[in-house]
Amino acid sequence: MEGDIGMGEHSIRNINSNPQNEDEVFPKRWIEENFLNRYSTASTMAKNLNMNWNHISYLGAPEQNHQAATKGYADTKLSLLGESMQGGLGWLETAFHNWASLSRAMTQSD
């Protein structure tokens, strides 16, 4: 059989309740139990998520401090402060080493 089937107001009944192949029809109940109910509510991740160099796209603007932000959102907030971040973080490494050296010197002088 080829082509579309016009079902009108009718439905297909008595389909396999546990589909095994990707080309099988999935019953509504199976989709709800195995996909919608499992993934439509907030849950906690138990492992790291390896994105394999892929990106997260279409991220909304954060509403809480613990939510992720896009580069564009962060750039906008930095520009409102008159700040920009350029280059690497070598300055941070230098500051940490200076702090560690000062901390050691203070500990040894006590």
Q: Is residue 83 part of a domain?
A: no
Q: Please, are residues 25 and 15 in contact by the beta-carbon 8 Å criterion?
A: yes
Identify the residue with better confidence: 33 or 109: 33
Region 40-61: what's the mean pLDDT? 79
In a domain, 30, yes or no: yes
- In this structure, is residue 2 part of a structural domain? no
Q: Is 53 inside a domain boundary?
A: no
Using CA atoms, how far apart are residues 53 and 72, in angstroms rounded to an integer? 19
In-domain check, residue 35? yes
Helical (H) or strand (E) element with 101: helix 90-109
Looking at the chain, the whole-number percentage of residues with pLDDT higher than 90 is: 0
Domain span including residue 23: 11-42
| Higher pLDDT, residue 46 or 7 | 7
Question: Is 75 part of any domain?
Answer: no
Give the Cα separation of 76 and 82 in Å (integer): 10
- Judged by DSSP in three states, 61 sits in coil
CB 47 within 8 A of CB 40: no
Q: Are 56 and 67 in contact (CB under 8 A)?
A: no
Considering its fold, how many domains does the chain have in total?
1
Question: What pTM did the predictor assign?
Answer: 0.34
